[in-house]
Amino acid sequence: MSEGLNQYAFSTLKRSSTVARIVEHLIDLIKSSSLQVGDKLPAERQLCEMIGVSRPILREALKALQVMNIIDMRQGAGTYIKSLEPEDVVEHLDIVFHLDSSLYHDLYEARRVLETSLAAMAAEKISDREILLIEENLRQAAADMDDEQAFFDRDLELHGMIMKAAGNRVIPVFMQSINKLALLIRQKTNAMPRIRRNTIQDHEAILRALKSRNPQESAAAMERHIYHVEHAFLYATEVEL
């Protein structure tokens, strides 16, 4: 544990602080070397008192940090700061988004550029079997409407199917990075039942366009979908704030 790690390393935040602010606070401690690789965080109850936030908010912040591979939550042993290896930098660009929320727009813009192009390419190359697999995906997603995690998995699967159908071997490299950055955002929007219903409708529209083998319609359907999820995320963020 780094020397001098104690309650004075943690600043008290307002009770109304969002998860993003808590994540930013803990990341700032790491950046300033107040927290270092291998350090064990105080127990949950103690950390809540130090920062001045509720347990549910703290737990969500810790979960976000775990998804970002910044902390290691060991059952029965505590929570530790993980090593950030240089080759894993892409995986931790989530940090940048917590520190500059305006970059969310850039992320959705990148998705629009790449995923609309993928949809257009897929429309020209997609096979009948791939169409059937997407149809099955939609049936499963509709059946999993009330299962948040299962629906989330179906959502990622469908976008992966379209990317595969596009037949480009380079774009997936870029999409892998974007998907890692978008993980927390997609989890937030996926948690809302209304958004899950709208996602099904959007995916059905994309499927219809793909079945028509029309690149322009497929790209437009994908663009509408990304527009819808972006605005759903922005609305959820405004409500949280």
Residue 125 and residue 81 share a domain: no
Residue 114 and residue 69 share a domain: no
DSSP SS3 for 73: strand
Q: Residue 115: which of 236, 233, 202 has the closest Cα?
A: 202
| Residue 147, domain extent | 101-240
Q: Tell me what pLDDT residue 227 has.
A: 94
Q: Is the pTM of this model over 0.75?
A: no
Residue 58 and residue 150 share a domain: no
Contact yes or no for 82/37 (Cβ under 8 A): yes
Q: What is the CATH number of the domain that holds 131?
A: 1.20.120.530
**Six token digits for residue 88:** 């894993």
Whole-Å CA distances, 131 to 156, 162, 208: 16, 9, 10
Q: Tell me what pLDDT residue 2 has.
A: 47
Residue 167 and residue 118 share a domain: yes
Residue 170 and residue 145 share a domain: yes
Could you write out the three-class secondary structure of 130-171?
Answer: HHHHHHHHHHHHHHCCCCHHHHHHHHHHHHHHHHHHHCCCCH
> One digit per residue, pLDDT tens: the chain, 241 residues?
444 444 435 444 444 446 777 777 777 777 666 777 788 888 888 888 888 888 888 888 888 788 777 788 888 888 898 865 444 434 455 555 554 556 678 888 999 999 999 999 999 999 999 999 999 999 999 999 999 889 999 999 999 999 999 999 999 888 887 887 777 677 777 778 888 999 999 999 999 999 999 999 999 999 999 999 888 877 766 544 3
Residue 59 and residue 106 share a domain: no
Residue 135 and residue 225 share a domain: yes
Sign, CA torsion 163/164/165/166: positive
Q: Tell me what pLDDT residue 11 has.
A: 47
CA distance 238 to 217: 32
